[in-house]
């Protein structure tokens, strides 16, 4: 007969998630790689905005880039546009994509499990810690780039339909834009957690958010139906631009945020599900590569497909490109009128209002040889307006439009040179190019036909 | 298969396993393993690579639950993963340490995770116990394998465990480090804790353990006191060096129960004066007496491998020369 001892009372002792969370933060922040990243995110944007704004040539191909001389808020939006495509996917890769894989690399899973004894709490601690660090990095980018506004100048921002946005309003809109961009960042973070759990120490686990982010950003520049474009989280990195029109294009923005949060929830949930089913005594199984396709990718593909279906059914416009003659004409008319008023002020001419101009535009694609829908650089528009104080006299200005599949267009003045040619005007920020010469605009892809 | 040695009623068990099975897909990692480990003892788990030692130790740590059989740890049945009782500590597959943190920070984090007060956790004491006080504030990144092993042991000691489970704890240690670890483990057992350690070095098992379980291909080949295993070694190969190898050879051939082994012994220095013989202990006594009677001076008589290792090799069906 064998004696046994009394069972200890604390077999089910629960360590609060907060302790694991603090430990995960300590581990993450002890990495030089992350420390440098955090510093870079808090310093580089301010330096970049400040430096670029001093250059004679501005990044006019980037949205708001042409206004970087005029106001510091434009710099923050340029940083946001660049970050959405390249920086945020990479940052999520380095944080969320590595937070589980690091334990595989270091061989510390068993140690952690024996200490905490709860995969649920380990997952929660890791997910929260990586979320915190990602938030810290995004906050750094936002605040640092906004700090550029203090250096360059806290002046009004010119919106995407030419309206002048007061500095305080611009600050609020820029803040909201960064917050909206956080939603797709969360989606990429969820994908990062999923990759980190499923692929273990494989480099693909680390790269997954970056690859997914760049791939989805690439999809945004392809001529895909609106439903496909909007069903991808990467649309959230674009949709914020709707805040800078009047009225704001809230619909696509809300859809983008909801889609992004849905992806974040599904990817994180899948990562959690897979993590709880991992066998930590099997030393050869540091990842679940075989399950990745079936359990990881398939549900996200279903979410993607369902979103496309819902969008296609609820918004007929979503089945096509979302870009048509009516929308472009309407957008160009508004933008031209607003910028004409701005130009009038800058040239110190008698004040005129948008209503007085009674502007209208006619656009056609490819000289009428192709259908007047969809993206392309064959759009040519003629804007007509009533010349203020000259009876019924009307003026005409011609623009060449380069319309991209995401609904953005660049209008390039094609005469008359006195109206939309290149010349300098005096502004509070110094000499600047004629605002009617080249300008950016955007159309609401989900709106009904214009 | 030997069954676990029954303990007396006065010796409480830290581990009581019966018929433990564990599968990894189609692979049977453990097949009906029985194990008894008493408090106050150091129990060695040995076996060839892939025998199932680490899997067994992982079950004791609660990293997984067995697919079949019953397991009691410190008197409490273990029915689900990560439900091992408090008082169990240790590591498998090497100590889990974070290279970007210092030794002290690693231990402080572990103490915090276990709900201990950092100041009251006794970090300095355990660092001193394993001889790492001087490098307490150095990052683990620069530690040697032996130092990591000792820090892993310190991490386990931090909880003042009643069952310490260690996978190859002396792997990578220099002789001084090994002595340090031996002292710590012996002290822990003397204080009443049970220690289960795996090793592939029988000399460590011989020096540390009072009991041993040999696992081979997922099954227990032997479980019991080390002395009993030693006695089961049967004929062991010895290296015999005398002042006259020719005369010694004649005596060997004339002694009943002693066999001359002409095969070169692995790892032995080539020497014209050395003979390799095989004999049980009783026959060896007779040989020595005969050599002395024949006036042949014996300069060296030592086992080519230790009796314990010979028994291990026999039980795990590994020829000595395959070591």
**What's the rounded Cα separation, in Å, for the pair B258 and A178?**
87
* Contact status, residue A242 vs residue A322, Cβ threshold 8 Å: no
* Contact status, residue A174 vs residue A168, Cβ threshold 8 Å: no
Q: How confident is the model at residue A178 (pLDDT cuts 50, 70, 90)?
A: very high
Which residues touch B296 (CB under 8 Å, ≥6 apart)? B242, B243, B244, B247, B248, B251
- Of the segments A145-159, A253-267, A365-379, B59-73, which one has the largest average pLDDT value? A253-267
Nearest to B9 among A3, A10, A283 (CB): A3
- pLDDT score of A293: 64
Over residues A42-69, the mean pLDDT reads 91
In degrees and rounded to multiples of 5, residue A382 shows phi and psi of -120, 125
Q: How confident is the model at residue A55 (pLDDT cuts 50, 70, 90)?
A: confident
Give A-chain residues touching B112 at CB under 8 angstroms. Answer: 19, 22-23
- CB neighbours of residue B33 within 10 Å: 28
CB pair distance less than 8 Å for A117 and B105: no
DSSP characters over A302-360? HHHHHHHHHHHHH-GGGGS-S-BHHHHHHHHHHHHHHHHHHHHHHTTPPP--HHHHT-E
Polymer length in residues for chain B: 323
Q: Find the helix or strand (DSSP H, E) in which B216 lies.
A: strand B211-216
Over residues A391-403, the mean pLDDT reads 91
ipTM: 0.72
- Can you point out the beta strands (E) in A65-196? 157-158, 164-165
Whether pLDDT at A318 is above 90: no
* A248-290: pLDDT as tens digits: 999 999 999 999 999 999 999 999 998 988 877 665 555 556 6
**What's the rounded Cα separation, in Å, for the pair B307 and A229?**
74
CB pair distance less than 8 Å for A111 and B97: yes
- pLDDT score of A9: 42
- Indicate the range of A11-15, A60-64, B165-169 predicted with least confidence: A11-15
Q: CA dist B313 to A198, B199, B219, Å?
A: 40, 14, 15
Q: CA dist A167 to A155, A427, B279, Å?
A: 5, 16, 98
- pLDDT score of B6: 47
* A67-119: pLDDT as tens digits: 998 899 999 999 999 999 899 999 999 999 989 988 988 888 888 888 888 88
- pLDDT score of B11: 66
Give B-chain residues touching A112 at CB under 8 angstroms. Answer: 96, 113
CB pair distance less than 8 Å for B61 and A11: no
- Its pTM stands at 0.82
* Contact status, residue A333 vs residue A362, Cβ threshold 8 Å: no
Give B-chain residues touching A7 at CB under 8 angstroms. Answer: 74-76, 85
For chains A and B, what is the number of CB pairs under 8 angstroms? Answer: 134
- pLDDT score of B118: 63
SS3 B170: coil
- pLDDT score of A288: 56
> Which residue from B16, B80, B59 is spatially nearest to B167, judged by alpha carbons?
B59
Whether pLDDT at A171 is above 50: yes
Over residues A321-329, the mean pLDDT reads 93
CB pair distance less than 8 Å for A111 and B12: no
- pLDDT score of A5: 46
- pLDDT score of A139: 97
Whether pLDDT at A238 is above 70: yes
- Indicate the range of A137-151, A226-240, A255-269, B217-231 predicted with least confidence: B217-231
Per-residue model confidence as pLDDT tens for chain B (323 residues): 444 544 444 568 899 999 999 988 788 889 999 999 999 999 999 988 888 888 899 899 888 888 999 999 988 888 777 766 678 888 888 888 999 899 999 999 888 888 777 666 689 999 998 889 999 999 999 999 889 989 999 998 888 899 999 998 888 788 888 888 888 999 999 999 999 999 877 888 888 899 999 998 889 988 999 888 877 766 778 889 998 888 999 999 999 888 888 765 554 554 567 888 888 888 889 999 999 999 999 989 888 877 777 777 777 765 444 44
**What's the rounded Cα separation, in Å, for the pair A314 and A145?**
37
In degrees and rounded to multiples of 5, residue B253 shows phi and psi of -65, -25
> Which residue from A380, A347, A372 is spatially nearest to A450, judged by alpha carbons?
A372
CB pair distance less than 8 Å for B93 and A107: yes
SS3 A364: strand
Strands B42-46 and B211-216: parallel
* A290-306: pLDDT as tens digits: 666 677 788 999 999 99
């Amino acid at each position: 007969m064998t004696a046994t001892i009394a069972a200890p009372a604390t077999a089910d002792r629960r360590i609060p998630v907060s302790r694991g969370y603090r430990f995960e933060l300590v581990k993450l922040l002890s990495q030089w790689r992350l420390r440098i990243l955090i510093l870079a995110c808090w310093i580089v944007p301010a330096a970049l905005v400040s430096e670029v704004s001093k250059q004679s040539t501005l990044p006019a191909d980037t949205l708001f880039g042409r206004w970087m001389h005029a106001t510091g808020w434009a710099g923050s939006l340029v940083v946001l546009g660049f970050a959405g495509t390249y920086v945020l996917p990479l940052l999520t890769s380095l944080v969320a994509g590595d937070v589980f894989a690091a334990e595989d690399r270091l061989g510390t899973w068993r140690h952690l499990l024996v200490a905490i004894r709860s995969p649920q709490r380990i997952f929660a601690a890791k997910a929260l810690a990586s979320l915190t660090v990602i938030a810290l990095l995004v906050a750094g980018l936002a605040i640092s780039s906004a700090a550029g506004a203090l250096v360059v100048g806290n002046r009004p921002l010119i919106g995407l339909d030419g309206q002048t946005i007061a500095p305080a309003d611009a600050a609020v809109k820029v803040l909201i834009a960064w917050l909206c961009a956080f939603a797709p960042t969360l989606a990429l973070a969820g994908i990062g957690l999923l990759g980190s759990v499923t692929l273990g120490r494989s480099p693909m686990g680390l790269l997954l958010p970056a690859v997914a982010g760049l791939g989805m950003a690439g999809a945004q520049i392809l001529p895909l139906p609106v439903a496909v474009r909007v069903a991808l989280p990467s649309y959230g990195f674009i949709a914020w631009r709707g805040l800078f029109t009047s009225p704001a294009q809230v619909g696509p923005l809300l859809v983008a945020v909801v889609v992004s949060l849905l992806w974040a929830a599904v990817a994180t949930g899948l990562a959690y599900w897979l993590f709880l089913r991992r066998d930590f005594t099997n030393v050869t199984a540091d990842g679940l590569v075989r399950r990745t396709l079936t359990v990881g990718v398939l549900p996200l593909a279903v979410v993607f497909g369902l979103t496309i279906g819902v969008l296609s059914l609820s918004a007929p416009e979503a089945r096509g490109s979302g870009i048509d003659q009516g929308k472009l004409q309407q957008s160009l008319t508004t933008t031209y009128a607003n910028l004409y008023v701005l130009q009038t002020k800058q040239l110190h001419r008698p004040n005129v209002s948008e209503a007085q101009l009674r502007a209208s535009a006619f656009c056609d694609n490819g000289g009428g040889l192709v259908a007047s829908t969809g993206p392309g650089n064959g759009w040519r528009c003629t804007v007509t307006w009533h010349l203020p104080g000259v009876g019924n006299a009307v003026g005409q200005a011609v623009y060449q439009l380069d319309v991209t599949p995401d609904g953005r267009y660049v209008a390039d003045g094609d005469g008359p040179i006195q109206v939309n040619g290149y010349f300098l005007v005096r502004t509070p920020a110094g000499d600047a190019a004629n605002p009617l010469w080249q300008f950016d605009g955007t159309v609401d892809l989900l709106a009904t036909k214009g | 298969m030997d069954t676990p040695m029954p303990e007396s009623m006065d010796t409480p068990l830290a581990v009581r396993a019966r018929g433990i099975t564990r599968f990894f897909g189609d692979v049977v990692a453990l097949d009906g393993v029985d194990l008894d480990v008493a408090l106050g003892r150091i129990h060695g788990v040995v076996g060839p690579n892939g025998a199932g030692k680490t899997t067994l130790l992982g079950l004791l740590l609660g990293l997984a639950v067995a697919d079949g059989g019953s397991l009691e740890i410190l008197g409490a049945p273990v029915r689900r993963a990560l439900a091992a009782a408090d008082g169990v500590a240790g590591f498998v597959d090497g100590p889990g340490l974070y290279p970007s943190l210092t030794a002290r920070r690693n231990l402080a984090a572990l103490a915090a995770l276990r709900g201990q007060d950092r100041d009251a956790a006794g970090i300095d004491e355990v660092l001193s116990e394993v001889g790492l006080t001087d490098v307490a504030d150095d990052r683990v990144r620069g530690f040697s394998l032996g130092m990591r092993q000792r820090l892993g042991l310190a991490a386990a000691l931090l909880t003042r465990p009643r069952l310490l489970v260690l996978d190859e704890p002396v792997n990578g240690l220099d002789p001084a480090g090994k002595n340090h670890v031996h002292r710590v483990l012996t002290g822990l057992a003397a204080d009443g804790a049970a220690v289960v350690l795996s090793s592939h070095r029988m000399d460590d098992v011989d020096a540390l353990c009072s009991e041993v379980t040999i696992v081979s291909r997922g099954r227990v080949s032997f479980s019991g006191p080390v002395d009993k295993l030693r006695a089961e070694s049967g004929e062991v190969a010895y290296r015999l060096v005398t002042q006259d190898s020719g005369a010694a050879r004649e005596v060997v051939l004339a002694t009943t129960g002693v066999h001359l082994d002409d095969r070169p012994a692995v790892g032995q220095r080539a020497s014209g004066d050395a003979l390799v013989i095989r004999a049980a202990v009783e026959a060896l006594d007779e040989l020595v007496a005969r050599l002395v009677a024949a006036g042949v001076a014996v300069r060296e008589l030592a086992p080519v491998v230790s009796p314990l290792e010979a028994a291990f090799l026999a039980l795990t069906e590994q020829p000595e020369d395959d070591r």
